[in-house]
Amino acid sequence: MLPVDFDTPRLAVVMVGLPARGKTYIARKISRYLSWLGYQTRVFNVGNYRRARLGATQKHDFFDPENLDGSHKRRELAMDALRDMLKWLDAGGQVGIYDATNTTSERREQVLSACRRAGVQVVFIESICDPAMVEANIREVKLGSPDYVDFSPERAAEDFRARIAHYEQSYEPLADAELSYVKLIDVGRQVVVNRVEGYLPARLVYFLMNIHTDRRPIWLTRHGESEYNGEGRIGGDPNLTPRGRGYARTLAAYVTERVPDPRELVLWCSTLRRTRQTAEHVGRPPREWRALDEIDAGEYDGMTYDEIRTRHPEEFRARAEDKLRYRYPRGESYADVIQRLEPVIVEMERQKQPVLVIAHQGIIRGLYGYLVGRPQEECPHIQIPLHTLIEMAPTAYGYEERRIELGPAVS
Ligand code: F6P
């Protein structure tokens, strides 16, 4: 047996829970978070294996433990997904998320021993929800599932409840004190942590303690046009131009129309003048984050791109070749920026009220990249225009994005 290696993470996050407990929601959230942090992460969803192999036509009796043919097929699908995950981890993957019900001790034992044989560390994450949450989940997520395309909402809900009842017959919640697990009760209202060891699993626990399912928009924007934007200079601490101040007013009007009581808005900006001035009209003092300050251009702060290209052509080229890892002399790289944004991300997840973040191009790239699940490599290249509000409205598993050009136009 290979030893479990805690230094180079090869981790299996194994979901546990009855249907409609938000397992896929949690699995995808973990996946987005870890991919954004730079870990090779992938979700292996057994439901998708079933739909791909057998079609999306299985009704509740397929999940009845008395149905031997159904049980046999379900076991086969689960084991195939597990094998694929271990193969992928063996080929360089770092975190595999095994998204299935895994509701019996026997099944968990099978998963655990296969992972151990492959030298992969295992953390179970069990989701337990109160009946109201389950019902809301059925209504909001399951009725739209590919499993029920031809069903009326009533029949779909009925079938899904019958499916849950089948699983309930054999469900054994996690209780083995030897196992490494996190029990999430009502998506974070209560969190029970057992034998969670290592840097990455501990970070995951911190993340899981802060997520929830309340829906609220997240608005992201760069500051209004600054004096430096007009001159093509980077960094610095310039003031807004008259056009930039115009944007600040339009932005405040837009947000106030949607959240009339400013106390119900979470408002964040950086410590730099241009974001503070953009936040000025919103009607409440912003929280100023140092972590939201623009990427530090170090010795090139205040220069134009043309000046950098002519005075430091090699540095200019190096940045163009690897924008994620290139670090400005005495300054930062995008990889550095992403690291310092992590507490902002977790805090953003924790908020249950609408959030407006007013920051800078490099910073909004990082935050937006997280929300839409872009890998690190792509983040430095995302287009984030000035005077455009990015509205992220939560959906069942992610966000629906709208870009609102509030003007005035910038040249
Ligand atoms: O030009 C505005 C600005 O916010 C600069 O302060 C910053 O250095 C730059 O954008 C970041 O964009 P890029 O990484 O593409 O140079």
Q: What is the pLDDT of residues 124-134, one digit of tens each?
A: 999 999 999 99
CB 238 near ligand 1, within 6 Å: no
CB 362 near ligand 1, within 6 Å: yes
CB 361 near ligand 1, within 6 Å: yes
Compute the mean pLDDT over every residue in the chain, rounded to the nearest whole number: 94
Contacts of 380 (CB under 8 A, 6+ apart): 323, 324, 334, 362, 365
Q: Which atom of ligand 1 is nearest to the CA of 360?
A: 4
Which of 360, 379, 386, 388 has most ligand 1 atoms within 8 Å of CB, for mutation? 360
Over residues 217-267, the pLDDT tens digits come to: 999 999 999 999 989 999 999 999 999 999 999 999 999 999 999 999 999
CA of 267 to the centre of ligand 1 (A): 22
- Which DSSP string do the residues of 201-248 spell out, in sequence order? HHHHHHHHTT-------EEEEEPSPBHHHHHTB-SS-PPBPHHHHHHH
The yes-or-no verdict on residue 31 having pLDDT over 60 is yes
Strand partners, 41: 95
Domain at 11-208: CATH architecture: 3-Layer(aba) Sandwich (3.40)
The yes-or-no verdict on residue 4 having pLDDT over 50 is no
Indicate which residue of 126, 147, 159, 223 is catalytic: 223
Answer yes or no: 166 catalytic.
no
Residue nearest to atom 11 of ligand 1 (CA): 362
Over residues 361-399, the pLDDT tens digits come to: 999 999 999 999 998 999 999 999 999 999 999 988 889
Question: Span 161-184, mean pLDDT?
Answer: 95
- CB neighbour burial string for 83-98, b if at least 16 within 10 angstroms, e if fewer: eebbeebeeebbbbbb
Cα separation, 369 vs 33, whole angstroms: 10
What fold does the segment set 218-410 form as a domain? Rossmann fold (3.40.50)
Answer yes or no: 223 catalytic.
yes
Question: Span 35-39, mean pLDDT?
Answer: 92
Q: Which helix (H) or strand (E) holds 349?
A: helix 334-350
Give domain limits for the chain.
11-208, 218-410
Strand partners, 356: 219, 267
pTM for this model (two decimals):
0.92
Answer yes or no: 115 catalytic.
no
The yes-or-no verdict on residue 151 having pLDDT over 90 is no
How much is the pLDDT for 13? 98
Which of 227, 234, 296, 336 has most ligand 1 atoms within 8 Å of CB, for mutation? 234
Q: Which helix (H) or strand (E) holds 42?
A: strand 41-45
Q: Where are the beta strands (DSSP E) in 271-405?
A: 287-289, 355-359, 388-394, 399-405
Are 11-208 and 218-410 in the same CATH fold?
Answer: yes
CA 280 to chain centre: 30
